[in-house]
Structure 1
Amino acid sequence: MSTTAVRYLTMLRMVPRSPRTITTSELAQRLDDHGFKVTIRSIQRDLEKLSADFPLMVDEDSRPYQWSFDRNATIDIIPALDLPAALTFELARAYLSPMLPPRALSHLKPHFDEAHRTLLREKNPLGQWPNRVRVINRGLGGERPAIDADVLETVTEALLREYKCKLVYQARNWPEPEEIVVHPFGLIFRDPNVYLIGTIEGREGVRQLVLHRASTGELLEEVSDRPDDFDLDLYIRSGAMGILKSAEPVYLKLRCDKPALNHLIEAPLGFDQITTEIDDTTFEIAVTVGDTQDLRWWLTAQAVHCDILEPRWLKEEITATLERGLARMKG
């Protein structure tokens, strides 16, 4: 392949999808970083030539010109989708749709549509995939809070580029919204919310910021202060996302009914879980778990199917909660 053709492909990959744009001067700088020495005027001529075959758009009212791909266009500068790749996009559509706001999904829509067309063209049974798969989230299925699309885009770019970001944020216990500077560590999707994990400049401790509570976002081109030893998986396994009641883990022993809680055998509550068959109707588990609010909600909900053997203090706490609930129901 000629050097010019490689430059064309490299440049096309740099052009974002509308409404985002890139200027010819920015393209010149990025091409230079990739080893292509080319003038802004040459880039302008190249893009005008390529726009005859690719869905490129230009804002000629700006100086320098701003370029983008048509928002709804399928960009055929990658190999045609084969069936496994098309099925992967169909799976992504099924699982991402419940989690992301419409504007974020719109960037993927042309690829989703092309995947579906590929499955239909091949007259393959996989083409019926959208009609035969559903994603059901556990719980009452309430409507997900709306996330400002600009906030989501700012946060994701800050994470990718390891920059700080500025948010106008309203925490549940704050009297009014505040402007905060965040050092982002990661994003966690925990239905129905999306959490930004990081620190707030000038305040101590790792925070969980619920993205729908942020009204505006701004990327700060300043390197974020992210600890080298921070691990998102370890953070989750610590129980932090279950609203920690204390930093000390809980050694939990339960006597459970079959078959109501058989899923605990197939999906253990922790990596050290030990399961003991008692008889045809019961089994016991012993496991170390985080001391979280989620643990208490789960034990309260499963009270008719399990006995808390250890620890005693947790059994007494759950018993008191159930007694207050019963008294309220009878009141």
Structure 2
Amino acid sequence: MSDTSVRYLMMLRMIPRYPKFITTTDLVKKLEARDFSVNLRSIQRDLDKLSTYFPLQVDERTSPYKWSFDREAVIDVVPALDLPAALTFELAKAYLTPILPPKTLSHLKPHFDEAHRTLLGEQSLLSRWPDRVRVINRGLGSQRPAVDADVMEAVTEALLRGYQCELTYQARKWPEPENIVVHPLGLIFRDPNVYLIATIEGREGLRQLALHRASSGEVLEKTVSRPEGFDLDQYIKSGAMGVLLSDVPVNLRLWCDRPALNHLLEAPIGADQVITDLDDEGFELTVTLGDSEDLRWWLTSQAAYCDILEPQWLYDEIEQTLETGLLRARKRGC
């Protein structure tokens, strides 16, 4: 392959999809960094030639010109998708569509479309997989609040690059929206919301920012100040996403009926879960969990199938909740 052909391939790899772009000047710099000796005029000629064969578009209103691939273009400058890769894209589309805003998904649409065409053109048994697999989440499946697509794009880019981000944000307890500079640390999708875990410039502590409450976002090319020792997995395991009611963990001991709670034998609710006294009637379960609202909701929903053996204060609290609910139902004649 000639040097010119290699240069063409390198140039195509450097050109992003619209609305992002690269200028001819930046292309020259990037190619020179890869030991290609080129000048601005030759790069412009190359791009004009390549645009005949590839879906390139140019903005000539500025100097230097800005080049990008068409947003909807299928770019065939990489090996064609094989069947397993096409299947992966097809399933990724099913999982991501309920989570990500349309504008964010639009960047993946050409790949999704190509994957779908690949599967349609195959007679392999694997091509039938997307029609035979479904994912059902537990719970009521509340409708997700709309997240501004530009906010999502700014936040994800800031996370990837390790940059700070400016948001216009309206917290529940704030009288009006505020412009805040945040240091993004992680993104958590917890039905039905998307949370940015971050610190806020000038304020103490880690924050959970629900992204549907942000109306605008902008990436700042300033490096994030990351708290020493922060780990996203450890943050989640601490129970912070479960609306902790205290910092003291709950040493829970339950008697669980079978078969209603058999799933707990295979899917532990905590890392230190221990099962004892297992028989046909039920089993005893001990586990350490965060003192959270989620724990109370779960215990209330499973009250017909388990007894709280310890701690006594939690037993009393759940009992009071159930009695209040029963009294309310009786007042309404239910």
The two structures have a TM-score, normalised by structure 1, of 0.95
Match of 1:41, SS state, is: helix
Partner of 1:135: 135
Partner of 2:217: 217
Letter of the 1:239 partner, please give it. G
State yes or no: 1:322 paired with 2:316. Answer: no
Match of 1:270, SS state, is: coil
Q: What is the 5 A alignment of 1:210-249?
A: 210-249=210-249
Would you say how many aligned residue pairs link Structure 1 and Structure 2? 331
State yes or no: 1:78 paired with 2:83. Answer: no
Query: Deviations 1:71-95 (Å, cap 9, x if unpaired)?
Result: 1111111111111111111121121
Moved more, 257-266 or 136-145: 136-145
Match of 2:285, SS state, is: strand
Q: Is the 8 A contact 1:186 1:198 kept in 2?
A: yes
Moved more, 180-189 or 50-59: 50-59
Match of 2:145, SS state, is: coil
Partner of 2:41: 41
How much does 1:35 deviate?
A: 4.1
CA distance in 2 between partners of 1:31 and 1:249 (Å): 57
How much does 1:228 deviate?
A: 4.5
Letter of the 1:259 partner, please give it. P
Query: Deviations 1:21-53 (Å, cap 9, x if unpaired)?
Result: 222223333334444443333322221111122
Structure 1: any 5+ residue segments left out of the alignment? none
Partner of 1:12: 12
Match of 1:300, SS state, is: helix
Partner of 1:104: 104
Q: Using a 3 Å threshold, how does the CA distance of structure 1 residues 3 and 290 change in structure 2: closer, same or farther? A: farther
Match of 1:48, SS state, is: helix
Match of 2:140, SS state, is: coil
How much does 1:219 deviate?
A: 0.9
Match of 1:20, SS state, is: coil
Partner of 1:269: 269
How much does 1:319 deviate?
A: 1.5
How much does 1:297 deviate?
A: 1.1
Q: Is the 8 A contact 2:142 2:191 kept in 1?
A: no
How much does 1:130 deviate?
A: 3.1
Partner of 1:91: 91
Q: Is the 8 A contact 2:243 2:294 kept in 1?
A: yes
The two structures have a TM-score, normalised by structure 2, of 0.94
Q: What is the 5 A alignment of 1:19-38?
A: 19-38=19-38
Letter of the 1:220 partner, please give it. L
Structure 2: any 5+ residue segments left out of the alignment? none
Query: Deviations 1:134-181 (Å, cap 9, x if unpaired)?
Result: 232222122211111110110011111111000000111211111100
Query: Deviations 1:261-320 (Å, cap 9, x if unpaired)?
Result: 111111101121111244312111111111211111111111111111111111112122
Identity %: 69
CA distance in 1 between partners of 2:231 and 2:239 (Å): 13
Letter of the 1:211 partner, please give it. L
How much does 1:126 deviate?
A: 2.8
Letter of the 2:329 partner, please give it. M
Letter of the 1:329 partner, please give it. A
Moved more, 186-195 or 207-216: 186-195
Q: Is the 8 A contact 1:116 1:127 kept in 2?
A: no
Letter of the 2:213 partner, please give it. R
Query: Deviations 1:164-199 (Å, cap 9, x if unpaired)?
Result: 000000111211111100000011111211111110
CA distance in 2 between partners of 1:194 and 1:312 (Å): 35
CA distance in 1 between partners of 2:234 and 2:34 (Å): 37
CA distance in 1 between partners of 2:62 and 2:184 (Å): 33
Q: Is the 8 A contact 1:171 1:177 kept in 2?
A: yes
Q: Is the 8 A contact 2:86 2:115 kept in 1?
A: yes
CA distance in 2 between partners of 1:35 and 1:326 (Å): 77
CA distance in 2 between partners of 1:54 and 1:172 (Å): 49
Q: Is the 8 A contact 1:99 1:191 kept in 2?
A: no
How much does 1:103 deviate?
A: 1.2
State yes or no: 1:117 paired with 2:117. Answer: yes
